[in-house]
Structure 1
Amino acid sequence: MGVSTSCGEKGVCVVTVDFPPVNALPVAGWSALADAVRAAGRDPEVRCVVLAAEGRGFNAGVDIKEIQRDGDGALIGANHACAEAFGAVYDCAVPVVAAVQGFCLGGGIGLVGNADAIVASEDAVFGVPELDRGALGAATHLARLVPQHLMRALYYTARTATAADLHAHGSVWRVVPREGLRAAALGLAREIAAKDGQLLRLAKSALNGIDPVDVRRSYRFEQGFTFEAGLGGVGGRVRAGFGEEGRR
Structure 2
Amino acid sequence: MSAVTSELRDDGILVVTMSQPPVNALTVQGWFDVAEALNAVAANPAVKVVVLRAEGKGFNAGVDIKEMQNTTGFDALLGANKGCFAAFKAVYECAVPVIAAVNGFCVGGGVGLVGNADIVVASDDAYFGVPEVNQGALGAATHMARLVPQQMMRSLYFTAATIPASELHRFGSIYRLVPRDELDAAALAVAAEIAAKDGRVIRAAKEALNGIEPVDVNHSYRFEQGFTYELNLMGVSDELRDDFAGTEKGKK
TM-score with structure 1 setting the length: 0.97
Rounded Cα–Cα distance in structure 1 between residues aligned with 2:240 and 2:161: 17
Equivalent of 2:201, from 180, 192, 199?
A: 199
Taking the TM superposition and a 5 Å limit, the aligned residue runs for 1:16-95 are 16-70=17-71, 71-95=73-97
Rounded Cα–Cα distance in structure 1 between residues aligned with 2:58 and 2:248: 14
Aligned to 1:243, what secondary structure does the other structure show? helix
Rounded Cα–Cα distance in structure 2 between residues aligned with 1:32 and 1:245: 29
Rounded Cα–Cα distance in structure 1 between residues aligned with 2:214 and 2:91: 18
Aligned to 2:243, what secondary structure does the other structure show? coil
**Letter paired with 1:147:** P
Taking the TM superposition and a 5 Å limit, the aligned residue runs for 1:224-235 are 224-235=226-237
1:73 Cα deviation (Å)? 1.2
Contact 2:128–2:163 (CA under 8 A) maintained in structure 1: yes
Aligned to 1:208, what secondary structure does the other structure show? helix
1:141 Cα deviation (Å)? 0.2
1:118 aligns with 2:120: yes
Aligned to 2:136, what secondary structure does the other structure show? coil
1:7 aligns with 2:8: yes
Which residue number in structure 2 is paired with residue 216 of structure 1?
Answer: 218
Equivalent of 2:185, from 183, 186, 207?
A: 183
Rounded Cα–Cα distance in structure 2 between residues aligned with 1:79 and 1:156: 21
Contact 1:146–1:166 (CA under 8 A) maintained in structure 2: yes
Deviations 1:174-227 (A, max 9, x none): 110000000000000000111110000000000000000000000000000000
Aligned to 2:163, what secondary structure does the other structure show? strand
CA-based RMSD: 1.4
| Runs of at least 4 residues off by over 4 Å | 244-248
Rounded Cα–Cα distance in structure 1 between residues aligned with 2:39 and 2:169: 28
Aligned to 2:62, what secondary structure does the other structure show? coil
Aligned to 2:213, what secondary structure does the other structure show? coil
Aligned to 1:123, what secondary structure does the other structure show? coil
1:243 Cα deviation (Å)? 3.1
Rounded Cα–Cα distance in structure 2 between residues aligned with 1:36 and 1:244: 33
**Letter paired with 1:95:** P
Which residue number in structure 2 is paired with residue 141 of structure 1?
Answer: 143
1:242 aligns with 2:237: no
1:40 Cα deviation (Å)? 3.0
Which residue number in structure 1 is paired with residue 162 of structure 2?
Answer: 160
Contact 2:122–2:178 (CA under 8 A) maintained in structure 1: yes
Equivalenced residues, count: 248
1:9 Cα deviation (Å)? 3.5
1:246 Cα deviation (Å)? 5.3
1:41 Cα deviation (Å)? 4.1
Gaps of 5+ in 1: none
Rounded Cα–Cα distance in structure 2 between residues aligned with 1:239 and 1:173: 35
Rounded Cα–Cα distance in structure 2 between residues aligned with 1:125 and 1:9: 32
Rounded Cα–Cα distance in structure 1 between residues aligned with 2:115 and 2:248: 22
- Rate the CA distance shift 1:58–1:41 in 2: closer, same or farther, 3 A: farther
Deviations 1:221-245 (A, max 9, x none): 0000000000011111111101376
Contact 1:22–1:56 (CA under 8 A) maintained in structure 2: yes
Gaps of 5+ in 2: none
Contact 1:41–1:49 (CA under 8 A) maintained in structure 2: no
TM-score with structure 2 setting the length: 0.96
